[in-house]
Structure 1
């Protein structure tokens, strides 16, 4: 048994402990009478309720005089504690117009004599609540920012579990895989099982990042029937020198890539055009000057012929040179027109088109020597660029006239046209002199001539090729020397 003096000493020690405690402490007996309290609890009740708590008085009766509702709450809490269930609550108190937040713990314990004690611990958590509110606000602001970013952002931990993600990533992932993302789920297991290669690719990327190595990747995915290209960057999350996760950013660079591809194609086209322009200027100046020099020489011959006996012959030669010059200039105009004009779509009447081409060329030398055999079958309306198709017809038909076999009395050009809803197939077959095999794959080049005696400008078939490229069509040629040449042209139907 403790002596009275010893009891007094232990009570002093206990009182000192609870006075020095950070928490506000209150001890109640099972009848809610105050056994002990520290100054913190005393002053809280003074400042909040104007209640002066004293040892031996009932806290319930003291509270009853100022706040009946709060009294019932405290009595209920104490009863729960006496039943053996510890509880923790948060109360808000207003002092001088400012809210203070308190965390209060109620717990009971049993004395040696079997009676119970209720211990009440409270502490001011106003600052903590303010920080929590700030954190929540910052988190809300951060999430708002993340969700307004057009890039996809997601975070994973070392177990590949999704820590967080923004709305853009959620949307894109669902579009790509048909899967709804869940925080805490394994990002690898969310990749469909039928895509094991994709899963292993991403596993490798995540593992590399978790080793502390940032990554940069380029992927192509099918999003709503459109092929999209993404630039993906991975950044390790490092805490106290240890990698604890990864942050991923995915940016849709489809438009940028398409623009770069377009610029690349345009640059390649520009290089090609510059090269062709150099050759064009050189060859065109030579071919334009040649008939002019011929005319100039013939005029001098006429001047030197005092009796003008050969004037008619000279004039005929001048006319021939002028016609050649005119033909060459016409080809240059057609070349320029095809290069700079947009495709002008209209419904095509092939009977009308063919007749216009034949009528245009009927005064060409030798045109009357070549019989045209026509067969046109149309099963659907056909749309394309009339003027460009006329260029094709004029060049192919004029070649059949220029390169007819003069040894034959039955020169002909068979023109077969088959039109359906998808395309027009044009077949031009002649029985002319033909093209040597070694030149067949070169005839569509600018200013190509098989030999010095070639009668054309060297631009005709080059123009045909260029026109068909504009119309997204194709041309193929088959030829044998002495037997003739066949051109097969396909042009897509633009009516659809």
Structure 2
């Protein structure tokens, strides 16, 4: 044996190497290079799932162990050997737990048991022992063997014995698990041979290592030759045979891990680029009536026995498209199965790993029962449409081939057509109101393209009356998916919609009445009791007072309270009359009506207010409800007088009336106190008073608004505080107007 010694200085250590040419050197370096080659081969060529990643991690720990033996073999002194042993000790320290972890995953241990704490207990001792070793808490004993080099003496101290015993125990447990799994899959030829090779790959280095490195040195006190890493070449060979011959790390492993489809009611199949099935889950085997062993020896189009040539062509095209990187869906594929013809829905996509397509993935759902349910549902829908026809509903059908529509008798009645009229789709569209026609055509076109049902409302004119029709339709298809008919129902819902609108209006009115009633009761109790209480107090004062002059003042106060009470009762009466009395049309003589209104205002209120009236007459006949118009003018003029400007000696109110054949415009404008902008939107509310200093019930403007609503009129207000207020009213001429 010849050798050359080289020395290096690194981190204060004198590292020396000797290049030997003995058996140990060549055995170690050969094993190391073979292990590295296998790791790169698996990484580049096979799918990267959890199982493969665990094997790569196991191979990496083995390579580190082999590198440990190689570097200590090349070390020329014990310091160099100890340095490299500490540097690569993670390999031999963790090979035991990683090996058992890989075996458990390979044998589906984690599929049967949910035990996350097991992995913690598996790796924790190795981390603990490695930390003891790296911190030099016990001596590292090395022995030099002339024919081999520096080797670690694992028979001492006792921590090394415990460390190696723990590693050996884990590897033997892994071997025992593999033996049990190999026996369990003995009836599956490919799986059995694959498991047998993995068992040899795990057990051979373990057996050789325990015998040569542990038992012999312990019993006969001989040097411990590091042959375990060299025997890993046997593991590499067994793994390579399993990869090439017995489908180890094939796409089926990736499918089972990522989809977990072995027991769910969905067919899952993995097809290799050559067309042969690499994997078929349990449900797929059950549906197709074949075993898993025989499925791997057949092309996929023989597994999926298409009921006709067209469906077979769809299967082949979907496989080719998936290999080209495209996904596809086959919604209705009929397959021959032991239980008869089954309808399947397939989703086909490429199975990509490491950036390349390694297979095609087929996921199929048996939709036979669903299709039967759909047929039954369509039959019941047809029966339902017949029942609707008996209940005055029309049913229709459009034949796509000849563009002919078949109508029931009720359809002709709904649309007001003659029973002998030939109806086409174009004629049907003509019967739809022009405002709805474009929308209906768009909905119809969308339904044909999406092949989904549709419904819509539209208006039409029948015998001079507007009708609202509800239409609902369905798309009929042949077995090959061609649209052959569109059918559905039509219902005249005019009366229903009118009743719904009336009911909605009545509900709004009822809600409004309820709210007003609440406010009305509250205000009545307050506004009636207030003057009555005031009068009772004045009467009591009169009874106690003997001076006639003082009582005269009391009587004056009593009169004012009675006036307020009378004014409030008058407002309540106007409110009640407006709510219950219909509109009574009569010709309006504006000059006499306005004069009567002005005279009805007590002189005490407008003695310092001038009311100017201007009437522009443009028609001889204006009809409306005289009582309501008179009340409206009384309320507005009285408000203008009451809200006069206190700092002006003379106030003015202007009333302009302009009537024509269509409507009358009334403008009441004053130069009084005005209304604050923040409250102008609320002045027409019941019992709302914008100025509490001016007497009133808060009903005046509310009654004005309600009476205008009865007359179908409108009112607007414009006011500036301190400047004045302007009310503008428009009242339609009811000479030819029907009031509802």
Contact 1:378 1:418 in 2 (8 A): yes
Alignment of 1:254 onto 2:494: yes
- Aligned counterparts of 2:649 and 2:402: Cα–Cα separation in 1: 84
CA distance in 2, matches of 1:303, 1:444: 42
1:386 aligns with 2:626: yes
Q: Deviations over 1:226-282 (max 9, x none)?
A: 542112222566899998534322111111101111101101110111011101110
* Matching residue of 1:130: none
Within-5 A mapping of 1:235-254: 235=474, 245-254=485-494
1:371 is the counterpart of 2:610: yes
Cα pair distance change 1:163/1:472, threshold 3 Å: closer
Distance 1:341 1:428 in 2: 26
Mapping of 1:450-461 within 5 angstroms? 450-461=690-701
Q: Which residue in 1 is equivalent to 2:539?
A: 299
Root mean square deviation, CA, Å: 3.2
Partner of 1:354: 594
Partner of 1:124: none
- Please give the secondary structure, in 2, of the residue aligned with 1:310: helix
1:336 aligns with 2:591: no
How far the C-alpha of 1:191 sits from its partner, in A, is: 3.8
User: What aligned pairs does 1:124-203 form with structure 2 within 5 A after superposition?
Assistant: 151-159=393-401, 161-166=403-408, 169-170=411-412, 182=422, 185=424, 187=425, 191=429, 197-203=439-445
- How far did 1:441 drift? 1.6
Structure 1 residue matching 2:644: 3-state secondary structure: coil
| Deviation for aligned residue 1:305 | 2.1
User: What is the count of residue pairs matched by the alignment?
Assistant: 343
Structure number with bigger Rg: 2
For the residues of structure 2 that align with 1:451 and 1:276, how far apart are their CA atoms?
A: 21
Counterparts of 1:196 and 1:282, CA distance in 2: 54
Change (3 A) 1:434 1:196: closer
CA distance in 2, matches of 1:412, 1:287: 30
Aligned to 1:113: none
Of residues 432-441 and 465-474 in structure 1, the stretch that sits farther from structure 2 once superposed is: 432-441
C-alpha displacement of 1:366: 1.9
Q: Please give the alpha-carbon distance, in whole angstroms, between the structure 1 residues aligned to 2:531 and 2:585.
A: 37
Of 406, 416, 440, 2:680 maps to: 440
Corresponding residue number in structure 1 for 2:6 = none
After superposition, the Cα gap between the structure-2 partners of 1:271 and 1:307, relative to the gap in structure 1 and judged at 3 Å, is: same
Contact 1:160-1:188 at 8 Å conserved across structures: no
Partners of 1:485 and 1:196 lie apart in 2 by 50
2: CA distance, partners of 1:239 / 1:196: 29
Query: Partner of 1:404 in structure 2?
Result: 644
Q: Hey, what's the Cα distance between the residues in 2 that align with 1:423 and 1:475?
A: 13
Q: 1:467 to 1:304 in 2, by over 3 A?
A: same
Conservation of the 8 A alpha-carbon contact between 2:632 and 2:707 = yes
Contact 1:229 1:253 (8 Å CA) reproduced: yes
Query: What SS does the aligned partner of 1:368 have?
Result: coil
2:440–2:456 contact (8 Å) kept in structure 1: no
Structure 1 match to 2:564:
324
Inter-partner Cα distance in structure 2 for 1:160 and 1:173: 22
TM-score (norm. length: structure 2): 0.43
Q: Distance in 2 between matches of 1:455 and 1:387?
A: 24
**For 1:191 and 1:309, how far apart are their aligned partners in 2?**
90
Cα drift, residue 346 of structure 1: 0.8
Among candidates 456, 462, 467, match of residue 228 of structure 1: 467
Matched with 1:290 is 530
| Richer in helix (by share) | 2
Aligned pair 1:488/2:728, yes or no? yes
How far residue 167 of structure 1 moved from its aligned partner, in angstroms, is 5.2
Q: 1 CA distance for matches of 2:682 and 2:603?
A: 26
Correspondences of 1:43-62 after superposition (within 5 Å): none
SS in 2 for 1:154: strand
For 1:292 and 1:414, the matched residues in 2 are separated by: 36
Cα distance per residue 1:356-401 (max 9 Å; x no partner)? 111221x253222221211112222100111000110110111122
The question of whether the paired residues in 1 share the 8 Å contact of 2:415 and 2:462 is answered with: no
| 1:293–1:221 Cα change, 3 Å | same
Structure showing the higher strand proportion among its residues? 1
Gaps of 5+ in 1: 1-144
Inter-partner Cα distance in structure 2 for 1:146 and 1:293:
68
Q: Do the aligned residues in 2 keep the contact of 1:404 with 1:431 (CA within 8 Å)?
A: yes
Q: With the length of structure 1 as denominator, give the TM-score of the two structures.
A: 0.63
Higher relative contact order (CA 8 A, sep 6+): 1
* 1:405 counterpart SS class: coil
* Alignment equivalent of 2:555, drawn from 312, 315, 323: 315
Tell me, what secondary structure is at the counterpart of 1:495?
coil
Greater displacement, 215-224 / 399-408: 215-224
8 Å CA contact retained: 1:476, 1:489: yes
Distance change >3 Å, CA 269–CA 197, structure 1 → 2:
closer
Unaligned runs of 5+ in 2: 1-386
Distance 1:291 1:160, change over 3 A: farther
Distance in 1 between the 2:678 and 2:389 partners? 65
Deviations 1:106-143 (CA, angstroms, capped at 9, x unpaired): xxxxxxxxxxxxxxxxxxxxxxxxxxxxxxxxxxxxxx
CA separation of 1:172 and 1:263: change in aligned 2, threshold 3 A = closer
Deviation at 1:294, TM superposition (A): 0.8
1:429 to 669, 688, 701: 669
Alpha-carbon distance in 2 for matches of 1:222, 1:463: 40
CA distance in structure 2 between the partners assigned to 1:188 and 1:286 by the alignment: 69
Shift, 1:464, TM fit = 0.2
Tell me how far apart the structure 2 counterparts of residues 279 and 245 of structure 1 sit (CA, whole Å): 61
**CA–CA distance in 2 between the matches of 1:407 and 1:366?**
16
The residue aligned with 2:335 is: none
Q: Out of 433-442 and 384-393, give the one that drifted further.
A: 433-442
Residue in 2 that maps onto 1:270: 510
Cα offset for 1:320?
A: 0.2
Residues 1:203 and 1:403: Cα distance change in structure 2 (over 3 Å): same
Is this contact kept in 2: 1:157–1:245, CA < 8 A? yes
